[in-house]
Amino acid sequence: MEVWGVVNVTPDSFSDGGEFFDQGRAIAHGRELLAAGATILDIGGESTRPGSMPIGAEEELRRVLPVIEALAGEAVVSVDTYRAVVAERAVAAGARIVNDVSGGLEDPRIFEVAAAAGVQIAIGHWRGPSSDMYRMARYERVGAEIAAELSERVAQAIAAGVRRDQVILDPGIGFAKTPEQSWAALRELDEVRALGLPVLVGVSRKRFLATALGEDPSRDRRDFASAVVSVLAAQAGAYGVRVHDVAATTDALAVLGEWAPAGIGAVASGEEAPDADAPAEGRGGAAVPGTIELNGLAVFGRHGVFDFERENGQEFVVDVSLRLDTAPAAASDDVADTVHYGELADAVAAIVGGEPVNLIETLAARIADAVLAFDARIDAAVVAVHKPHAPIEQSFRDVAVTATRERRGTGAR
């Protein structure tokens, strides 16, 4: 499991009260977190605590760039920002991950930055700025709604050129969520994991922990609770956790590793973290055990609501992500022990080239159902259908719909 160590170069963070606002102290703190076992350093220059106000890109850059430049040669560095210009400059300074709590809603160009640089991007669930987030905390089914909204953000990222294997998902605990909704989001983490991408959980020192600990618990007690949640997140199949107290978290995960010697990541899912040190084209959700990706399958079809679409036809592009146990195939090196993606591609192509439908929503659902039924070893399937030549008068790059199916006991969602 990846442990993201938080480095706040801010004067007003809820978690440390500006303890590392001085850049020299922030750099030293980053090195301390690495020594304690952090695998990634997440460096941020603007507080996103409830009620906080934005500071502006120039000030944010002034705070974070020297810290990123100092630490990028020693660690995998993530920049915690929702501004495209900050992400762009941070990547140029050595950051290998962009962590956007807004999921591209605040500044959609951030997806283009990630796509151009080939870096990973953590897409957070978000409904609005920190200054007014609780007004938007309205849910009927927390986990399902978070997953659906994250799926839309992933589709937008892909439309901007980001590959699925660059994407990490963050359910945004505490963002536009009451304490009760935050706990529900954690209990229903499988809803987000069913999207077939690595999931990052960040609960460290957040206010909602007080519902378990009592009013205004000390920082030490919140750190202890955060470490417990990190263990539970690992058991639920999360790829990583974002924490302030790295030592407590790595100790807790080490205990879990002894308790479950098959490996922390294998406790629930068989998934492993994306390797930020690997070349961009080979890292992320597509390259980790437990996931097979079939992306960019271009097939001619005659789907659409207009008669000329059915008469003339057009090209559709399909992305398929499968979640399954790949360990048997890895051990045997035998195609019989895994899903034959060539045969799967033929099955998908047959559906796209077959009976016309009006909507790509219908087409995506049909493909997702067929993919889940294709092989009993598939635990979950995420299918995105792109219609790059849709008859729209306005200039656009892509139209896409995503459908998710998960095997749950006797049925699928």
Q: Check whether residue 301 and residue 244 sit in a common domain.
A: no
Query: Which pTM does this prediction carry?
Result: 0.65
Q: Check whether residue 256 and residue 177 sit in a common domain.
A: yes
Q: Check whether residue 323 and residue 274 sit in a common domain.
A: no
Q: Check whether residue 199 and residue 273 sit in a common domain.
A: yes
pLDDT bucket at 380, cuts 50 / 70 / 90: confident
Q: Check whether residue 33 and residue 162 sit in a common domain.
A: yes
User: How open is the CA angle 104-107-111, to the nearest 5 degrees?
Assistant: 50
CATH of the domain at 210: 3.20.20.20
Domain end residue (candidates: 280, 304, 323): 280
Q: Check whether residue 373 and residue 261 sit in a common domain.
A: no
Report the pLDDT value the prediction gives residue 323, as an integer from 0 to 100. 86
Cα(133)–Cα(47) distance, rounded to whole angstroms? 14
Cα(141)–Cα(27) distance, rounded to whole angstroms? 41
- Of 63, 96, 206, 222, which is the active-site residue? 206
**Tens digit of each residue's pLDDT (9 = 90 or more) over 73-86:** 999 999 999 999 99
DSSP 81-123: -S-HHHHHHHHHTT--EEEETTTTSS-THHHHHHHHHT-EEEE
The b/e string for 23-50 (b: 16+ C-beta within 10 A; e otherwise) is beebbebbbebbebebbbbbbbbbbbeb
Q: Check whether residue 179 and residue 309 sit in a common domain.
A: no
Report the pLDDT value the prediction gives residue 131, as an integer from 0 to 100. 65
Hey, what amino acid is at 149?
E
Q: Check whether residue 173 and residue 221 sit in a common domain.
A: yes
Mean pLDDT of 37-45: 95
H or E stretch covering 373: helix 360-374
Domain end residue (candidates: 280, 311, 332): 280
Calculate the dihedral angle through the C-alpha atoms of 71, 100, 151, 345, rounding to the nearest 10 degrees.
-30
Assess whether pLDDT exceeds 60 at residue 128. yes
Identify the weakest region by mean pLDDT among 74-78, 183-187, 285-289, 338-342: 285-289
Cα(291)–Cα(43) distance, rounded to whole angstroms? 29
Report the pLDDT value the prediction gives residue 14, as an integer from 0 to 100. 45
pLDDT, mean over the chain? 87
**Residue 206 known to be catalytic:** yes
pLDDT bucket at 20, cuts 50 / 70 / 90: low
Cα(285)–Cα(380) distance, rounded to whole angstroms? 14
**Tens digit of each residue's pLDDT (9 = 90 or more) over 213-236:** 987 788 899 999 999 999 999 999
pLDDT bucket at 395, cuts 50 / 70 / 90: confident
Mean pLDDT of 259-271: 48
CATH of the domain at 344: 3.30.1130.10
Nearest alpha-carbon partner for 162 in 202, 105, 123:
123
**Tens digit of each residue's pLDDT (9 = 90 or more) over 321-369:** 998 888 888 888 999 889 999 999 999 999 999 999 999 999 999 999 9
- Of 164, 242, 323, 407, which is the active-site residue? 242
Q: Check whether residue 322 and residue 236 sit in a common domain.
A: no
Assess whether pLDDT exceeds 60 at residue 13. no
Q: Check whether residue 18 and residue 135 sit in a common domain.
A: yes
Determine the number of helices (DSSP H) and then strands (DSSP E) in the chain: 14, 13
% residues pLDDT > 90 (the chain):
66
Mean pLDDT of 282-302: 70
Nearest alpha-carbon partner for 194 in 244, 240, 256, 236:
236
Q: Check whether residue 94 and residue 15 sit in a common domain.
A: yes
Domain end residue (candidates: 250, 280, 310): 280
Domain with 177 in it: 2-280
Q: Check whether residue 315 and residue 350 sit in a common domain.
A: yes
| Overall number of domains in the chain | 2
